[in-house]
Amino acid sequence: MATLLAIVALSLLIIVHEFGHYICAVATGMKVDRFSVFGIGPVVARLGVWRGTEFVISAIPFGAYVHIVGMEADDAPSLAVAEGGRPGEVPEHDPNDPTLYRNRPIWARMLAILGGPLANYLTAMVLGFVALTMVGNEVPLSMRVDNVVEPAAQTAGLLPGDELVKIAGEDVTGRGTQDKILATTAAHKGETVAMVVRREGQEVALDLPLTAEGKIGIQMSPGEVTRETHPVGVAAKTAVLFPIKFSAFQLDALGKWVTGRIEGKMSGPVGIVREIAKSAERGVEAFLEIAIKMSTLLGLFNLLPLPALDGGRFVFLLWEAVTRRRVTPRIEETVHGIGMLALLGLILWVTIRNDLFSHLFG
């Protein structure tokens, strides 16, 4: 069930992306003759025509796509969606039709290209606002021992499941519990301090040697928690800023990964679905959190200046805006075609190597 929910969630984020392209294209006077609201590839079901756009469901049950007429060289409408036409008919095509993508002003084409990523960022912000005002987030009131790492902590008697109550006479529970723990241990580096833990409902006193860096030598996770929502103003500000800050963090990490300063592993669709499913199993808050991050990442990824992506198309538009000369459509189409093949190859390689092989064989 969690896996199915994850597939639907990821598909919805892709549909939102394509809807962003659709609404911006239509709003700027472009002709969109087909919107596959679910799936890619051959059409298996036709849902109807609305305002010149045929809405369909396609054979491969993942994602969605929008066909903006005139984006490719010699691109003509594939459907007779004009008044009196029938789906599947190829209508008369006027290459000077002002509703074709390539005949629209450059600002309109830029907006149509950026519409998808913008829709993902807006979705992340809306989901963030809903999460903060309606669902709320968990606030730890105590920290629990998950794993005892340092031998000295093991010798002192700390056990997984112990809930930290006092360190060196200081109460370390309540709001900001983790900060209290870190501040207290940092003030007693290298010392042996009195510690009180709650174990199976009973308080147990221990004498714990801290490391020279002031560490206990354990891995922790929240123990007692409370859930709180946020005021509308605070939630709105946080929801708007988070996707921006998260994007900056991801770009910084990407730069460090490319230059070899940090290690990392890419995930394909299978790995992404798996992570979303895990979050769904942890509850609504975790599911919303990863949905916000996935929507942001989908928008950010498409903004990268690579062929076949929205960012790659936008680079060509910037070149046209600066030089006032349009790149030959055939050349641009070839660049994006090669980029698409490379992207599909990378996704296939990552899916097999990182998502499937490593999952099955470690």
User: How far is residue 28's CA from residue 30's CA, in Å, rounded to a whole number?
Assistant: 6
Residue 287, both tokens: 């599911």
Beta-carbon count within 10 A of 123 CB: 24
Structure-token pair, residue 160: 């997984």
The three-state secondary structure class of 95 is coil
* Whole-Å CA distances, 41 to 65, 252, 281, 346: 9, 35, 31, 19
* Of the candidates 121, 118, 126, the residue with the CA atom closest to the CA atom of residue 20: 118
Decide if 99 contacts 29 (C-beta within 8 A): yes
Strand-pair partners of 204: 197
| Strand residue runs (E) in the chain | 32-38, 40-50, 53-60, 65-68, 137-140, 143-148, 163-167, 170-171, 192-199, 202-209, 218-222, 225-228
- The DSSP symbol for 38 reads E
Parallel, antiparallel or unpaired: strands 192-199 and 163-167 = antiparallel
CA-to-CA dists, residue 246 to 161, 250, 289, 299, angstroms? 32, 6, 12, 12
Q: Which residues are catalytic?
A: 18
